[in-house]
Amino acid sequence: MTRYDLALIGFGGVNRALAELIAERGSELEDELGFDLRVVAITDLRAGSLVRPDGIDLAALLATAPGELDFSTLEGGSCEPRNQQVIQDGPGDIVVEATFTNPADGEPALSHVRWALEAGKHVCTTNKGPVALHGRVLKELAARHGVGFEFEGSVLSGTPILRTAGRLLAGLRVTGVEGIMNGTSNHILGRLEEGVDFPEAVREAQALGYAEADPTADVEGHDVQLKVMILANEVLGADLRREDVRCGGISHLTPADMRDAASRGLRWKLVGQATRREDGSVDARVVSAALPADHPLAAVSGPTNAVAFHTDLLGTVTVSGPGAGRTETAYALVSDIIAIHQRHGAAGTHHLSKESFRG
């Protein structure tokens, strides 16, 4: 039985949910998929680092409230995150990167991913920053080192958009892709349709935990901009920089705009689009658009996300599902590990864990 030892970088909502899935469903996964998962290292800005080459007792760790975790009190623990040391020299076949998204330069996640790939370790991440801004370079680095670099959760959390495009739509010509890829803004648009004004709808979304204290990235399209870059690069083979993707938001919209649109059979949506031009280049943008009722994205309501692929032989294929949520996003990491197992495990991925950690 193959076993993968995981090093978790960042222990917030997503990686903690991954630890919960492994603790609760580990043996189910083992029976169904033929491999075993073990967490051997965790680093976190607040909790510090914990390295146990023989496996961390997840049940004991998860019994402690997130804000109270202090790895320095545990055997193999330190109050420092020690990311570089843990990633490069610590145990772990797969590094799971789930720290915060930095839309400016992708750091520090970019360094985490690079260190891991250069050390010959597989990487899976839910972090849009390094994937959107440096995906091509990182994929080349992974290929050079013969390891996997997977990032399904970076676009629609657990809803399998990238793998649908890469595997299930193989052989089709995809001419364009468009999606509702931010549940917070879609929820806010729904409340505007119900007559709630924009500032109040944002406050409600914050109270529900959908919107951040600073909602700018959600409502001005910056979050979708990174997702459009990933989709355009992965699905249409583009190589876009952030400045190539024009970005608009929804903060100018009012309940009156919604009523006016409804009277004409339209619904306002925040849409991320990437389309192949005649000359082969790719046009990508984030726009607020009033969609006709028969548009595949028009009926997508609330926090649900959806992506429509425009293809030559099938016409439009639309996939919808959750676009956020800690457990949903942790599932994306499980699906990434499955992909790594299928691509690299079958070819004889040996167990790479080091016997000792130079702590």
Ligand X SMILES: NC(=O)c1ccc[n+]([C@@H]2O[C@H](COP(=O)([O-])OP(=O)(O)OC[C@H]3O[C@@H](n4cnc5c(N)ncnc54)[C@H](OP(=O)(O)O)[C@@H]3O)[C@@H](O)[C@H]2O)c1
Binding site for ligand X (CB under 6 A): 9-14, 43-46, 81, 83, 98-101, 108, 126-127, 153, 157, 324-326, 329
Reduced to 3 states (helix: H, G, I; strand: E, B; else coil), residue 291 is strand
Active site residue 227: yes
Closest approach of ligand X to the CB of residue 227, in Å: 9
Closest approach of ligand X to the CB of residue 19, in Å: 11
3-class SS shares of the chain: helix, strand, coil, % to 5: 40, 25, 35
Residue 41: name the closest of 15, 14, 3, 2 by CA. 15
**Consecutive H or E run containing 203:** helix 198-207
Q: Which residue, 14 or 123, is less far from ligand X as judged by CB?
A: 14
Closest approach of ligand X to the CB of residue 220, in Å: 16
How far apart, in whole angstroms, are the C-alpha atoms of residue 296 and residue 214? 30
Q: Which residue, 271 or 324, is less far from ligand X as judged by CB?
A: 324
Q: Which residue, 98 or 116, is less far from ligand X as judged by CB?
A: 98
How far apart, in whole angstroms, are the C-alpha atoms of residue 126 and residue 265? 37
Closest approach of ligand X to the CB of residue 328, in Å: 7
DSSP code string of 255-272:
HHHHHHHHHTTEEEEEEE
> Which sign, positive or negative, has the C-alpha torsion 65, 66, 69, 75?
positive
Set 128, 227, 269, 354: catalytic member:
227
Q: Which residue, 153 or 221, is less far from ligand X as judged by CB?
A: 153
Closest approach of ligand X to the CB of residue 44, in Å: 5
Q: Which residue is nearest to ligand X (CB)?
A: 12
Q: Which residue, 76 or 325, is less far from ligand X as judged by CB?
A: 325
How far apart, in whole angstroms, are the C-alpha atoms of residue 233 and residue 225? 12
Contact 45, 34 (CB under 8 A): no
Q: How far is CA 20 from CA 11, 57, 152, 321, 331, in A?
A: 12, 11, 19, 22, 11
State the catalytic residues: 227
